[in-house]
Amino acid sequence: MKLRLVAALVSAALLSACGLNSVPTAEEAAKARWADVQSEYQRRADLIPNLVNTVKGFAAQEERVLIEVTNARARATSVNVNAEQLSDPAQVEQFEAAQGALSQSLGRLLMVTENYPQLTSNENFKALQNELATTENQINIARRDYNTAVQSYNTTIRTFPDSIGARIFYGAKPMTPFKATAPAAETPPAVNFDKK
């Protein structure tokens, strides 16, 4: 009887050190951070129609840029990655590419406003532009938090003793972190205030 009790306690101790709780905890944390990333992208997608309509009223001749933003938004919202696809680098890369194209289109749209001083003085446009800038910052924070959670999860499933439980009980696979998608993301943009 004593031997069985000791064996049961040793088994329980060994199982508790094999990632039975830490692996799903880390995985759920990463999935929650991914949901935050998607939420911020949705917030941006919801703001874009308002921004486009405001700009349309002032810059009808720049319709090409507005159509480009609208199309980029449609592409960005059509590419979705759910929590189960986070270990598929191709799926995450496709999502990143669609969001990156939208970011580039928004940059061109905001440059259009420099040609229309009356647009930048419009209070609605200023409010939307400020919201968009805030949203972009929140997207960056959400991406960083997601990458931190993915790093923690990936480390958990690869280190002893959690790796045992990760492999045996969960069949855990590493998740894919976000990475820069723009070709020259490492190079800061040049700012030039010279009038031509």
pLDDT at 193: 39
Q: Is residue 43 part of a domain?
A: yes
Rounded Cα distance between 81 and 78, Å, is 10
pLDDT at 177: 87
Q: Is residue 176 part of a domain?
A: no
Q: Is residue 9 part of a domain?
A: no
Residue 156, classified by CB atoms within 10 Å of its CB into exposed (0-12), middle (13-18) or buried (19+), is buried
Q: Can you say whether the dihedral through the CA atoms of 12, 16, 20, 21 is positive or negative?
A: positive
Residue 82, classified by CB atoms within 10 Å of its CB into exposed (0-12), middle (13-18) or buried (19+), is exposed
Q: What is the pLDDT along the chain (196 residues), one digit of tens a residue?
A: 777 766 666 665 555 555 677 888 888 898 999 888 888 888 888 877 877 777 666 655 566 666 777 788 887 888 888 878 888 888 888 888 888 888 887 777 777 666 665 555 567 667 777 888 888 888 889 989 999 999 998 998 888 888 888 888 778 889 888 876 655 544 554 544 344 4
pLDDT at 73: 80
Contact yes or no for 176/89 (Cβ under 8 A) = yes
Q: Is residue 187 part of a domain?
A: no
Q: Is residue 7 part of a domain?
A: no
**Count: domains in the chain:** 1
pLDDT at 95: 85
Return the DSSP state at 87: T
Rounded Cα distance between 22 and 16, Å, is 9
Q: Is residue 15 part of a domain?
A: no
pLDDT at 101: 80
Measured between its terminal Cα atoms, the distance across the chain in Å is: 91
Q: What share of the chain is helix, strand, coil (3-state, %, to 5)?
A: 75, 0, 25
Q: How far is CA 62 from CA 48, 55, 75, 109, 150, in A?
A: 16, 9, 21, 9, 41
Question: In this structure, what CATH number is given to the domain that contains residue 31?
Answer: 1.20.1440.20
pLDDT at 196: 44
Residue 139, classified by CB atoms within 10 Å of its CB into exposed (0-12), middle (13-18) or buried (19+), is buried
Residue 68: domain span = 22-170
Q: Is residue 190 part of a domain?
A: no
Rounded Cα distance between 56 and 38, Å, is 27
pLDDT at 45: 83
